[in-house]
Structure 1
Amino acid sequence: MKQPELSRRISLLQATAINMTDMVGIGPFIVLSLVATTMNGPGFLYAWIAGAVLSFIDAMVWSELGATFPMAGGSYNFLKEGFGPRTGKLMSFLFVWQTMIQAPLVIASAAIGFSHYAGYIFPLGFWGTKAVSGGMVLLIVFLLYRNIETIGRISVLLWMGVLVTMAWIIGGGIAHGHFLEPVARINDGLELNQAFAAALGIASVKTVYSYLGYYNVCHLGGEITRPEKNIPRSMLISIAGITILYLCMNISVASVLPQDRIEQSNFVVSEFIEVLAGSMAAKVATMLILWVAFASVFSATLGYSRIPYAAARDGAFFKVFARLHPTKNFPHISLLFLGGVAFLFSLLFKIQEVINAILAMRIMIQFIAQAIGLILLSRRNGRNFFKWRMPLYPLPVILAVIIWGCIFVSTGVHMMLAGITVTTAGVIVYFLKSRIQGDTL
């Protein structure tokens, strides 16, 4: 009997929709106030620009690797290929190891943010908030438990809701008549000193979190049509579109609400709409924001579910995760496991606790090591080996490593230690596993 295989059915439009819905999510609505508080002035727009610059630079690394190795699992394959047959086993194992923790954290963070923002409409209380966040994760798993063609259509529908929501927010600021005022005041009180650099670094941790997801298409590489072209295009289109939307949204909100209200608000976008159009319109806008958050969890869970599957199919992870649904051809065991862990995390943690933890655990292996792996692969095989090649190589790769290193430091000592601890534990488990199985590094 023929084993089920992944199908290449996701188009450029659908891939872009999946990326953009993953990127927006609840992040920009939650962290807008946090970024404004950290920067303490109209210069908070610089933090959003910094996040976009890093995303563009890092996307070049992902584009080269994604177009050349268009397979399910994304970074798992990139690390294995970049570091070669020996060290690559360790690096790819460490990626899957940290994914089993940070992927549910990403899913849970969006679900927690969803329940938090729902409090603007419904006073949920502690247990009500937990019920909503946990229920959201369960609903996402239910919707993803189907074939990829149906998921692609659902993604486009959810993406339309994202665009409608952002268009309303931006349009409200433009109609208010003072849209460009925050841009004119961006340098008010700005001093280029060590304090500004420190604030920008801390604020950029939050904005980078809001941009994460531009690479989601790489995790679905085995299901993308014309991957050598569509994977890079979908990432670069997604980042460009989201950058414009984020900057316009922040400018729009700052053109209506005073700085102190932005910094103190728990529902800043809802309050922005309330000032412009009243409480009923604000509730409708909040419902749309919840739609966006839901869409993000849907997209992120879809991409992450392919990573343990890819590793297991390669013989580097538990065999049970290599199973595909017998009729719908998707990795159902992987989906159910990650969804179950995300459900528990959504009940245990708060939104601000997971943002720094997500970045701290991912930066060393997924971002910095992956960029280094690209350089090693280029040295071994030459630049013509890649199906898509970045301009000005290796400058973007070097910049990506330096900036990610700065972001890692900005997550704080406790989160840095947590990330190092998780990685160290993964190394120990890998060598124990290798010794038991008789493998060699």
Structure 2
Amino acid sequence: MNAPLAERLRPETLDDYISQSHLVGPNGSLTQSIKQGLIPSMILCGPPGIGKTTLANIISNESKRPFYTLSAISSGVKDVRDVIEKAKQNGGLFTTKNPILFIDEIHRFSKSQQDSLLQAVEKGWVTLIGATTENPSFEVIPALLSRCQVYILNSFDKNDLESLLKRAIEKDNILSQKNITLEETEALLRLSGGDARKLLNIFELIISSFDDKDIFITNEVVLNKVQNNTVRYDKTGEQHYDIISAFIKSIRGSDPNAAVYWLARMIEGGEDVKFIARRLLILASEDIGNANPTALVIANNTFQAVTTIGYPESRIILSQCATYLACSPKSNAAYKAIGNAQKLVRETGDLSVPLSIRNAPTKLMKELGYGDNYQYAHNYENNFAAHEFLPKDIENTTLYYPGNNARENAQREFLKNRWKDKYDY
């Protein structure tokens, strides 16, 4: 039996690898490491079907290292330890070219399973490459994350996917024997949702449905052939991102009806309850912030609750949180403030902390003027002293602009009364 088209076309060298030039292009952050064989343990993060597993295989091939693979879905702590023991026996203790251990969907590993990897990575018995579709900051334990580099793989763009289709037509042993004309690609690309594996699976399905050797691929042909095979909600495909986007935008737009509709779509589709709750937690700060600080408290409690309870009862908690956030006043002032501050830091570099607000734990530091002239706020009327806290080069810079809502209008008045004409309020 022939392997699927996606497997037959899987690249084996960096030269054949499509996209991710920021990682493996001529100036990519991984290119020289791979060529020199100095491979760090890493987490490859990105949507499904963008080449995480393929890149791990290529890294192993190019660096000429033994390659072990585990799936987090079906492997336990014992499997991890067995593979690590094999890796140690295969030279991991005595050579810089230690074996590579690839773990697919590493975010599905429990804390104890991830803990079982720590010593092997720390001692260099294996070079770990983990693949995940989730944010590793949430799903990988800090101890393991600190021992790994995190590399983000980007979704394929239109040119990447069209190049992949042309390669399939020209290079695949089976497809190259047919006379395939790719007249239109929009429907194929849309149905794939940027997932290269899904794209090739759909393409192969369409090609196999023709008896003729001459095949013309149009948008109409694609939709007619696959419309009965598309799923209502694909947790790892385009709808995953489109529906969460609609959900967030509905809450941001203060429409609780649309919010619960899109929430229901995700729940009925089996979306990960923690994924939804995390997005609510981010939104509570990004889009509501100080207009209603309680929103963040409710969103955080929601995340904790649904993590403990799970489906089906979590749908009620998610609904309560989503409708509360939708009905809250909105402000992105805090979100914009940190953006302004980070931009300023990038532009001005590491400016010195003013001496007056430096810590002075030693006698020498006190003699050098650390802490001199610091005005302790609680010693002054209204617990406030008009002290300068920013570095000299950026004194009087306004970064936080309260939004136009009851709570932040009160904040604005508070700041104006305290700082008078110092800041732009």
Instruction: Report the TM-score, using the length of structure 2 for normalisation.
Output: 0.27
Higher helix share: 1
User: Radius of gyration: which is bigger?
Assistant: 2
Instruction: Report the TM-score, using the length of structure 1 for normalisation.
Output: 0.26
Higher RCO, Cα 8 Å, sep 6+:
1
Higher strand share: 2
